[in-house]
Amino acid sequence: MNETGGSAKKSVPDNINREIEALDSVILQQTPNGILLVDPETRIQYVNPSFRTMFHCELDELLGKPAREFVHSDCFERAIETGGKLMVKESVPVHNVSYRVGLFPIEGENLYCGIFIDISDEEKAKQHYNELKAQTLERAQEVISKQMKTAQEIARLLGESTADTKVLLVKLMSLYEEEKKK
């Protein structure tokens, strides 16, 4: 660290710099996250293979086009307007994809970077869970209704039986009373 709190630059041999640059390139090409670089007008300047796969697009369809056409969001515009970092969660039914994206400016360049994480499987699982929950609640309501009807039927039958028993007991009591009078 230097006196201003920043890190001091160390001289790195050219062959190590080339290896690091090659590794950077491999990482950008092989990461499972989509990476998109845009200029200040949000025109696409770079896109990695994972982004193309995620959004079902070819490279020639993307380069130079506004990012909004593919990500179906004004997230880059908002990040550029505020000049800062932004996290966004979106769904694009046209491409059958849901994503979370982190956006940030690239220091020393006139570019903004978006790192897109495909959360489609998570969103489908969440939707499936919500559907199951709704079905379970509906089924629970049906069971409760059926139990209430059964309880009402039992109460009705008990009421009838109690009434019949009362009638029978009243008759027996009146016969006993008549016999007692004789």
User: Residue 166 pLDDT > 50, yes or no?
Assistant: yes
Residue 19 lies in a domain: yes
Q: Is 111 left (phi over 0), alpha (psi -120 to 50) or beta?
A: beta
- Pair 19, 43 in one domain: yes
Q: Any idea what the CATH number is for the domain that residue 98 is in?
A: 3.30.450.20
Higher pLDDT: 177 or 114? It is 114
Helix residue ranges, H only, the chain: 14-30, 49-54, 59-62, 68-71, 75-82, 120-181
**Structural domain total, the chain:** 2
Q: How far apart are CA 52 and CA 66, in angstroms?
A: 15
Residues 118-144 pLDDT 10s? 998 898 899 999 999 999 999 999 999
Same domain, 125 and 153: yes
Confidence check: pLDDT of 105 > 80: yes
Q: What are 49-80's pLDDT values in tens digits?
A: 999 999 888 888 899 999 998 888 899 999 98
pTM, 2 dp: 0.67
Quickly list DSSP for 77-105: HHHHHHTS-EEEEEEEGGGTEEEEEEEEE
Same domain, 181 and 128: yes
Query: Pick from 118, 148, 170: which residue ends a domain?
Result: 118
Write out the residue range of the structural domain in which residue 166 sits: 120-182
Contacts of 110 (CB under 8 A, 6+ apart): 39, 40
Domain presence at residue 5: no
